[in-house]
Amino acid sequence: MVGFIDLVKVLFRNYYRSIDLSEVSDLQGREFGFQFFDKEGMVRHMGFKNEEELKHFLISNTPSHIYYSTAIYKDPTNQDMDAKGWLGADLVFDIDGDHLPTQSCQGVELMTLECLSDAAEEVNKLLDSLIEDFGFSDSSIKIFFSGHRGFHVHIESSEVRGLSDEERREIVDYLLLRGFDIEHLIRGNVVLIDMKLRGIGGRLASVIHETDSGLLDSITSRSGRGRVSKYLVRKLSSFNSVISERLSTHIDEVVTMDVHRLIRMPNSLHGKTGLRVVKLTPSDLERGVEYVIDKAIQFRKGSLTLRLIKKLPVRRVLGEDVVGDEGSIIKVPTYIGIYLVMTNWGELVD
């Protein structure tokens, strides 16, 4: 394993020689944290004056994982959190495939394209809410593949940086549809449920239409013409659980509420997979997760020979067919070899 780690460190170091740090906004005001291949725990409360200083550190020390604060501070290197001088924090969302309740993600041991696709669908739901319901512009939202099983979504505008943890909790509650009741969208003879509407009202209408199109027709035909009957309101209320299941967005709520959070730095390498934390566009997501993985792969040259420690639970690894039982000797592209060894599915054969 020592020889393998040395190889990975060389590959990581070479990558960091030309890393693009342009996505790290307000670099001087952010706290950085690092994990290393040959040390336990995290080294944090570090700061850098500019890109050149950060890049020099990465080349000289070659971390396995790189994190930065979602917050901006006056003194990011101060180890006393209260003395850092909090100036605000980005609004950040974390969607992790292995936390999703879908069939493809339940009990997943190795990242699969199917589970990652489910995570990408959650990102699309989140984007719909942020744009249609909260009014954020496309250009204010940054999407990143996390380098492993999910995605991060960042909003860095001044209008969100001053939000308190309680205000962020309200956003989380809305996205999770916590305490949602469909009756809130009915006020006398006004019904805010219609497929022509943008936002939650339009999404609700689509779900109801799939299940009971006649009910939706009855509701929309009454809007503006007279009070909706109690019978129709009760029938609509029976959809509350279905609505919550279909339309809630499965985000890690702690990440969004924590105004001192460290999160993976854009364009850094994930030390467990060797994949890049790559920026994506909505159209990238539409092209599918194999395209996303392809954008994140760095180490395409060469191959590695591995002995499988245990039988692989999936046939495709990072979009490529990999077949083998416990003890099998296999030859795979370098990027797949790094992923299998670092996730303890294989060991390098000398």
pTM, whole model, 2 decimals? 0.92
* Mean pLDDT across the chain: 91
Lowest average pLDDT, out of 59-63, 208-212, 261-265, 343-347, goes to: 208-212
Question: Would residue 94 show up in a list of annotated catalytic residues for this protein?
Answer: yes
Question: Would residue 82 show up in a list of annotated catalytic residues for this protein?
Answer: no
Question: Would residue 38 show up in a list of annotated catalytic residues for this protein?
Answer: no
Sign of the torsion formed by the C-alpha atoms of 212, 213, 214 and 219: positive
Question: What is the largest distance, in Å, between two alpha-carbon atoms of the chain?
Answer: 79
| pLDDT of residue 212 exceeding 90 | no
Query: Of all helices (H) and strands (E), which one includes residue 291?
Result: helix 289-296
Question: Domain boundaries in the chain?
Answer: 18-175+251-296, 182-247, 303-348
- Averaged pLDDT, 233-247: 80
| pLDDT on residue 82 | 95
The single-letter code of the amino acid at 57 is F
Query: Of all helices (H) and strands (E), which one includes residue 290?
Result: helix 289-296
- Output Rg (C-alpha) for the chain, integer angstroms: 23
Rounded CA gap, 176 and 173, in Å?
5
- Averaged pLDDT, 141-146: 98
| Phi, psi angle pair for 282, to nearest 5° | -55, -35
Do residues 251 and 243 make contact, with C-beta atoms less than 8 angstroms apart? no
Rounded CA gap, 239 and 245, in Å?
10
- Averaged pLDDT, 213-224: 69
- Averaged pLDDT, 110-131: 95
Query: Of all helices (H) and strands (E), which one includes residue 88?
Result: strand 86-89
- Averaged pLDDT, 290-316: 94
| Percentage of the chain modeled with pLDDT above 90 | 73
Q: Which residues contact 94 (CB under 8 A, 6 or more apart)?
A: 146, 150, 151, 152, 251, 252, 255, 256, 263
Rounded CA gap, 110 and 158, in Å?
38
pLDDT category at 245 given cuts 50, 70, 90 is confident
| pLDDT of residue 231 exceeding 80 | no
Is pLDDT larger for residue 67 or for residue 244?
Answer: 67
- Selected catalytic residue, list 128, 252, 284, 294: 252
pLDDT category at 1 given cuts 50, 70, 90 is low
Lowest average pLDDT, out of 22-31, 45-54, 107-116, 185-194, goes to: 185-194
The single-letter code of the amino acid at 31 is E
pLDDT category at 237 given cuts 50, 70, 90 is confident
Residue with tokens 């339940």: 106
CATH architecture of 18-175+251-296: Alpha-Beta Complex (3.90)
55-96 confidence digits (pLDDT tens): 999 999 999 999 999 999 999 999 999 999 999 999 999 999
| pLDDT on residue 224 | 55
pLDDT category at 235 given cuts 50, 70, 90 is confident
pLDDT category at 206 given cuts 50, 70, 90 is confident
Helix or strand or coil: residue 93?
Answer: strand
